């Protein structure tokens, strides 16, 4: 599951009058466990799950909801603060065309990556190519519903934001059990990723993506899982260097596509520096712990996932990481704020205030 790569998010803005849907603003979210809101719950064989307590303890009724976090994802927070509805999981059986038009849809899947082979140990997950295939299906549904002309306006008027990639390293290239780890070296693997991502973004362009933003990776070598697997407990610098290389190559890729694809405006959003500073200087941002998970089995590490038998930290708002892979709600809010600031996101509906951070009642804590 990807850390700090922000889970893939597509923000789609449209304004047309059809069946009562006038000037709607919705999100189409593509990504991994950082933005999955329940798709993996419907993948019965997937080992990448967030279906047990204490996932979701600070969200809504406090029950697991498919998010790999104690609270909100970065996509949730960006949407809330910019006045966008929270889209349902695409695999939710109750999803309808009206819901897509009203709320958008979320394709994100824990364990997924840019490459088809990434995350294979999780058995079932939706890679980016598969998510794009599902998006094509939604594209056809909407076209059938509102007509080709309105659908073209809808998709070409959209703003797309894409963020992914850390699983391709953490749950592929950096694990010897995967063929890619001994087939490629650092540079050839990065070239392979960029070639694949280029093809995927061109498909999105063919489906109407004209304004697109790609978010880079954070210091994935500093997630608790990577630290605990090192002999010193320090960040794994090779993983961090790969993240920086990925960010540099992605930025160049977007510049190339912007200049070569018709009417394309593709931008790169980088949150590496602020996340790295939070991890290096947690107290500066109000945190007390940035090297271990809030939800764990105590000294038994790595715990890999959060389960009912896990022990929670005393104050979840003081931990940067929720589990071995994923940031806490508090860290996600900081990351979201940085992205909003860097990319200049504006609130699309000034009538409603953003949703507040979760209230962490003392009775909800399990020590």
Region for 23 from its dihedrals, namely left if φ exceeds 0, alpha if ψ lies in -120 to 50, beta otherwise: left
Could you tell me which residues come within 8 angstroms of residue 177 by beta carbon, excluding any fewer than 6 positions away?
Answer: 121
Could you tell me which residues come within 8 angstroms of residue 236 by beta carbon, excluding any fewer than 6 positions away?
Answer: 221, 222, 226, 227, 229, 230
Catalytic residues: 33, 323, 326
The CB-side HSE value for 38 (13 A sphere, CA atoms) comes to 17
Q: Where is 265: in which H helix or E strand?
A: strand 265-269
Question: Counting every residue, how long is the chain?
Answer: 367
Distance from chain centroid for Cα 45: 21
Strands 159-163 and 211-215: parallel
DSSP one-letter string for 156-187: HT-EEEEE--HHHIIIIITSTTSTHHHH--HH
DSSP one-letter string for 6-43: ----EEEE---EETTEES-EEEEE--STTT-SSGGGG-
* 241, two tokens: 């260097």
Mapped onto helix, strand or coil, the DSSP state of residue 81 is helix
Cβ-contact 94, 154 below 8 angstroms:
no
């Amino acid at each position: 599951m990807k850390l700090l790569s922000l889970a893939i998010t597509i923000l789609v803005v449209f304004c047309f009058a059809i069946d009562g849907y006038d000037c709607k603003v919705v999100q189409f979210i593509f990504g991994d466990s950082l933005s999955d809101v329940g798709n993996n719950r419907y993948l019965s064989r997937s080992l990448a799950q967030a279906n047990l307590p204490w996932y979701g303890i600070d969200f809504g009724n406090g029950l697991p909801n498919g998010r790999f976090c104690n609270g909100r994802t970065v996509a949730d927070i960006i949407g809330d603060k910019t006045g966008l509805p929270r889209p349902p999981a695409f695999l939710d059986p109750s999803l309808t065309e009206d819901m897509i038009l009203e709320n958008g849809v979320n394709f994100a899947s824990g364990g997924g990556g840019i490459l088809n082979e990434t995350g294979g140990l999780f058995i079932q997950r939706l890679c980016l190519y598969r998510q794009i295939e599902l998006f094509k299906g939604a594209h056809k549904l909407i076209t059938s519903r509102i007509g080709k002309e309105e659908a073209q306006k809808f998709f070409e008027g959209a703003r797309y934001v894409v963020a992914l990639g850390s699983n391709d390293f953490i749950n592929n290239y950096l694990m010897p059990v995967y063929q890619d780890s001994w087939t490629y070296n650092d540079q050839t693997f990065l070239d392979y990723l960029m070639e694949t991502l280029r093809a995927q973004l061109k498909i999105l362009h063919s489906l109407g993506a004209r304004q697109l933003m790609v978010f880079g990776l954070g210091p994935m070598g500093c997630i608790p899982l990577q630290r605990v697997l090192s002999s010193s407990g320090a960040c794994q610098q090779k993983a961090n260097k790969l993240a920086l290389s990925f960010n540099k190559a992605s930025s160049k890729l977007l510049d190339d596509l912007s200049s070569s694809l018709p009417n394309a405006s593709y931008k790169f959003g980088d949150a590496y520096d602020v996340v790295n500073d939070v991890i290096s200087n947690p107290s500066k941002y109000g945190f007390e712990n940035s090297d271990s998970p809030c939800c764990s089995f105590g000294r038994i590490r790595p715990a890999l996932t959060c389960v009912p038998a896990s022990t929670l930290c005393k104050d979840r708002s003081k931990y940067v990481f929720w589990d071995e892979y994923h940031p806490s709600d508090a860290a996600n809010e900081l990351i979201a704020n940085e992205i909003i600031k860097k990319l200049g996101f504006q609130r699309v509906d000034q009538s409603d205030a953003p949703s507040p951070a979760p209230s962490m009642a003392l009775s909800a804590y399990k020590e």
